Amino acid sequence: MRKIFYNQYQIIMKKYVISVLISLLALNSFAQNVQSGTQQRTNTTRPALTSSGSSVTAGTDSGIEVMPILDQNYTGVAFTPKVIVKDGNRTLVENVDYALSYTNNVNVGQAIITISGKGNYSDTKVVNFNIVPKTLNSVQLVPITEQTYCGTPIIPDVLIKDGSKTLVKDVDYAITCVNNVNVGIANATITGKGNYKDSKTTTFRIVPKSMGGGAVRKPASAAASQTTR
């Protein structure tokens, strides 16, 4: 009888031990799943767009970069060039992954683009591109009218048009002249300034000053003689 009881006791203990082991294994598996889920949630933090030389980077090894932007020739109109932002092999989409804003993007100099992260990306990155002067060879120089001899160097007014824009002396260009005193052909050189570069040369004619058309002055002695009569 004792032997039967002892055997039943051993069976019960074995079942208990097995049950405890199964519970411990299940608890360990649950802990691993919790830890894995925590890591996954940590890894879903939005990458930040931060500065790294001339590229856009996210974190330390994100591989996000901005392709170089070509120089733009001055036109008088605000430039809003598109940018190519790469996250590894993926090309980010404007207004989905980032937004763009521009400053100093009209006149010659260094323009600024601010790239602001959206959606899966955060923070901002600033990149630059250059606006370079426009050549005067592409603008219209209206022929200079004849100038009348005056005995001093003549610097004529010139009319230069860039589309509908009239260029301004000493802002957009400077003018120098040679052979510009006496009657004949004078030479003028217009040199770009500010938003314009290079030079254009042109000529203008200086014509004789007329001696006719005005009253002839009488000698002083003749005038005095007439007043005494």
Q: What is the pLDDT of residue 223?
A: 53
Average pLDDT over residues 163-172: 96
Cα–Cα distance for residue pair 160/122, rounded to 1 Å? 48
pLDDT of residue 7: 57
Q: What is the pLDDT of residue 212?
A: 81
How sure is the predictor about 21, in pLDDT bands with cuts at 50, 70 and 90? low
- Rounded mean pLDDT, 154-183: 97
* 2 or 117, which is more confident: 117
Given a cut of 50, whether residue 83 has pLDDT beyond it is: yes
Which of 2-35 are b and which e, b meaning 16 or more Cβ less than 10 Å from the residue's Cβ? eeeeeeeeeeeeeeeeeeeeeeeeeeeeeeeeee
Phi, psi of 34 (to 5 degrees): -65, -45
CATH code of the domain made up of 49-132: 2.60.40
CATH architecture assigned to 136-207:
Sandwich (2.60)
* pLDDT reading at 182 higher than 80: yes
Q: Please give the Cα distance from 171 to 129 (Å, whole number).
A: 23
Same fold, 49-132 and 136-207: yes
Q: Which pair of structure tokens corresponds to residue 11?
A: 């069976």
**For the chain, what are the domain ranges?**
49-132, 136-207
Residue ranges of E strands in the chain: 49-52, 55-58, 64-66, 72-73, 85-87, 90-91, 98-103, 109-117, 124-132, 134-135, 140-142, 147-148, 159-162, 165-166, 173-178, 184-192, 196-197, 199-207
Would you say 95 and 117 are in contact if contact means Cβ atoms under 8 Å apart? Answer: no
Whole-number Cα distances in Å, 55 to 69, 99, 182, 196, 201: 12, 16, 61, 31, 44
pTM attached to this predicted model: 0.66
